[in-house]
Structure 1
Amino acid sequence: MTTATLAKPQAQQPGKGSRRLSLPAVLLLVAGVLVLTSAVRLITGADGITSTGQMSTALRLAVPIGLAGLGGLWAERAGVVNIGLEGMMILGTWFGAWAGYQWGPWTGVVFGIAGGVLGGILHAVATVTFNVNHIVSGVAINILALGTTRYLSKFTFENAPQGSSKQSPPIDSLGTFDIPGLSSALNTLNGKHWFLVSDLAGLLGGLITDLSPLTVVAIALVPVTWYVLWRTAFGLRLRSCGENPVAAESLGVNVYKYKYIAVIISGGFAGLGGAFLSIVASNVYLDGQTAGRGYIGLAAMIFGNWMPGGLALGAGLFGYTDSLNLRGGTTNVHALILLLAILLVFGAAWLAWRKKYLPAVLTLAVSVLMFAWYAGTNEVPKQVVTATPYLVTLLVLALSAQSLRMPKADGQPYRKGQGK
């Protein structure tokens, strides 16, 4: 028996042995949901749920969540749990706004990344070098970032024109662009409200309307992350540190170095997400601007089973539900109650097919309650709309928890030479 086998981490693996959905299966599932959504739109008359404006807003709101999720993916693939994503995003919002106000938006983007990197370095020193509990370190960074940015705001923004202790002066825009001709054609087609065709037009139109250059960069980082982590020797070594660092060390991998690199990159992604919030999404820094998006990004990463593609889908889902709140979608959320009730019926049928009868019955019972809620009301309270992103986060994690596979050594303490 080898040393690596003896030292194999004993972390519990949720959903161990579960199969990942293939790309055709995922595409078929997405297509099915889109068809069902189109049918619900026709039944309820809530045309806004697939409008170009709704999708464009959803994309803008999904970007910071996706960037935070990518940050969590890099860290956890190297075996470091990064609860501090929220704090790193906060640092990104403040440093991005501070530098963007003085030297322009692109400089602000660079400083936002640097602010997140600073948080990543602190987390790496605590967890990798000093073996501090990863959760404790992450929570400490969140608290420290919040206090630090509030303190700095008092003597940087408070005396600036149009600024205050809780808000920065306006920052110049990075600008937006459309694809000429195609954007207007898709928007016109979306306005026809035809079954499925108009919904596809709204989805595609939202992806190419009022795009910020930083949005394009963020989207490109998803396939780049996949390629680097799964198609390069560097990525293989980094992922080995999250699966079995003792075995990686026995093969000559400098585990400390790769963990540091991963956590610093993680902080940079989170900082970029924060800079996006303060420079692109709102063009000012606001106290409490992240609003838990770091945690939602972590949820998107878990929903995506620690894979970039699944993470992107999760970020899109959470961004969409958040956009309902931003666009005043009480009627749209009411329509989505019907959609969710129908999806739960399919979920119950799938569970019954897998002979999980008790979960199937419980899922069906929840579906009946959702149908009753939809039938008994004409619209939902504004408070429910506001809470929708967080409710969806809890619901998605609860439903997907049994089919996940985290890196085997994720969150486990590591010391050089511990396998000897």
Structure 2
Amino acid sequence: MIDQEVRTPAPRTGGVRAFRGRRALTIGLGAFAALILLRLITGESDITSSGTMSAMLGLAVPIGMAAMGGLWSERSGVVNIGLEGMMVFGTWGAAFGAYFGHSPWLGLLAGIIAGALGGLLHAVATVSFGVDHIVSGVAINILAPGVARYLSDLFFTHESGGGATQSPQLPHFPTWSVPGVGGPLGDLEKHHWILISDLAGLIRGLLTNLSPVTLTAAALIPISFYLLWRTAFGLRLRSCGENPLAAESLGVKVYTMKYAAVVISGAFAGVGGTFLAMVASSNYQEGQVNGRGFIGLAAMIFGNWRPGGVAAGAGLFGYADALQLRGGASAVHAMLLLLGAGLLALAVWHAYRRRMVTAVVSAVVAVGLLAWFFLTDELPKEIVTYSPHITTLLVLAFAAQRLRMPAADGLTYRRGGGH
């Protein structure tokens, strides 16, 4: 009977799933409506343009893959801050496979394998030898750039266009678009009609010029949800992150589950690294990961260790980055109005719930942002450049109260420790 409970995931009520689906849809529609209203007030067309939406998707892919990698690892109880280094392994592996294999598809495969090997290294250190998870992750982040530099010097220095810090030009992936979307929706977008042009920009940006890596990344999110929440394998893996000793007593092979999760985590990071080297760029370059592994961890925390939330977090950070690249200082300046209004509404909500300290803090920050918007015409260049990082900090600060991490996340497990 107990073994049957482990093998069969406990059914969840349809009402809870429907409520979560409606809530997510409401939040998404509300956010898009707020962007439309902001565009109308400020006249910044880039806020909902197809170019911004396309850039958002491209910038969200590596962040989302790092975040999904963190989710897989931490759901098994292993903290993985080594995702940054695993993405570095993925960028170099993709370049090696694509260049010497003369195929972008071999590059994708090599990038996944390289990231998975980074995950395997983290699993050996943390699961088998009990090394502190943070120490192991930091070590991988330090090790990866050095290994990539050494291997680049070994394999790329004597190749045309290559060197110790970069690879030669790599073969490109094809790009695909949904037929009949680009031209007609582009014409609608140019009219700047309320809602119609905004929807045209959104759909056109998300359904044109898509790479296979982008489509792979998008498919991996629902696949991960199904595997982790709808299969016996996922139930066993998540039980290791909640109470590994109890899982062991019910026959779960905890070491195997943790190894599988951390290796898969590295493979996800490898997909993100492949995107950076072969889609966002035309070759591997030293430093091109540029902190996206850490932003991915922030997206994972924002998403409360669930795939849907992770996708939303990656989209948010990708949008913040896309807006400063496409719209520049004026578009980011317009976001002050949206942030100020949102925090003011949040202050009213907290006051209604009698959380007066939080309400006062939110109100003070909101008034400051609104005053900043109305008293200035644009933001300093330094703030515009780092707006994605500032967004990361703000989101984590306001999302921290609702988070629920796996209970055994980061704890060292030893077989038989419960006896």
TM-score (norm 1): 0.93
The residue number in structure 2 matching 1:45 is 43
Shift of residue 146, structure 1, vs aligned partner: 1.2
**Structure 2 partner of 1:137:** 136
CA distance in 2, matches of 1:260, 1:214: 25
Structure 1: gaps spanning 5 or more residues: 1-18
| 8 Å contact kept, 1:324–1:385 | no
Letter in 2 for 1:252: G
1:360 aligns with 2:346: no
Q: In the alignment, residue 327 of structure 1 is paired with which amino acid?
A: R
User: Which string of whole-angstrom CA distances, capped at 9 and with x for unpartnered residues, describes residues 330-364 of structure 1?
Assistant: 11101111111111111112211221111111111
Q: Which residue of 2 aligns with 1:160?
A: 159
Aligned to 2:248: 249
- Equivalent in the alignment of 1:228: 227
Query: Which amino acid in structure 2 is aligned with residue 165 of structure 1?
Result: A
Q: Deviations over 1:43-67 (max 9, x none)?
A: 1110001100110011011001111
Secondary structure, counterpart of 1:145 in structure 2: helix
Task: State how far apart, in whole Å, the 2-side matches of 1:190 and 1:308 are.
Answer: 31
Deviation sequence 1:66-112 (CA, Å, 0-9, x none)? 11111000000000000000000000001111221221211011111
**Residue 148 (structure 2) aligns with:** 149
Q: Does the 8 Å contact 1:80/1:134 carry over to 2?
A: yes
User: What residue in structure 2 maps to residue 196 of structure 1?
Assistant: 195
Contact 2:46 2:326 in 1 (8 A): no
Alignment of 1:269-284 (within 5 A): 269-284=268-283
Given that 1:69 and 1:298 are in contact with CA atoms closer than 8 Å, whether structure 2 keeps it comes out as yes
Q: Given the alignment of the two structures, is residue 217 of structure 1 paired with residue 223 of structure 2, yes or no?
A: no
Q: Which residue of 1 aligns with 2:99?
A: 101
After superposition, the CA RMSD in angstroms is: 1.6
What is the CA distance between 1:382 and its match in structure 2? 2.1
* 2: CA distance, partners of 1:321 / 1:101: 33
Residue of structure 2 in register with 1:110 after alignment: 109
User: Aligned partners of 1:239, 1:189: CA distance in 2, in Å?
Assistant: 46
Cα distance in 1 between the residues matched to 2:313 and 2:128 = 32
Rounded Cα–Cα distance in structure 1 between residues aligned with 2:278 and 2:206:
19
Q: TM-score, normalised by structure 2?
A: 0.94
Partners of 1:333 and 1:264 in 2: how far apart? 38
Equivalent of 1:35 in 8, 33, 36: 33
- Give the whole-Å Cα distance in 1 for the aligned partners of 2:146 and 2:134: 19
Amino acid at match of 2:80: N
Partner Cα distance (2:163, 2:384) in 1: 30
Equivalents in 1 of 2:96, 2:317: separation in Å? Answer: 28
Distance in 1, Cα, partners of 2:260 & 2:140: 18
Which digits, 9 at most, give the CA deviation of each residue in 1:109-128, with x for residues without a partner? 11111111111011001100
Structure 2: distance between partners of 1:140 and 1:326: 32
Percent identity of equivalent pairs: 57
Distance 1:85 1:387 in 2: 21
Q: What's the CA shift for 1:285?
A: 0.7
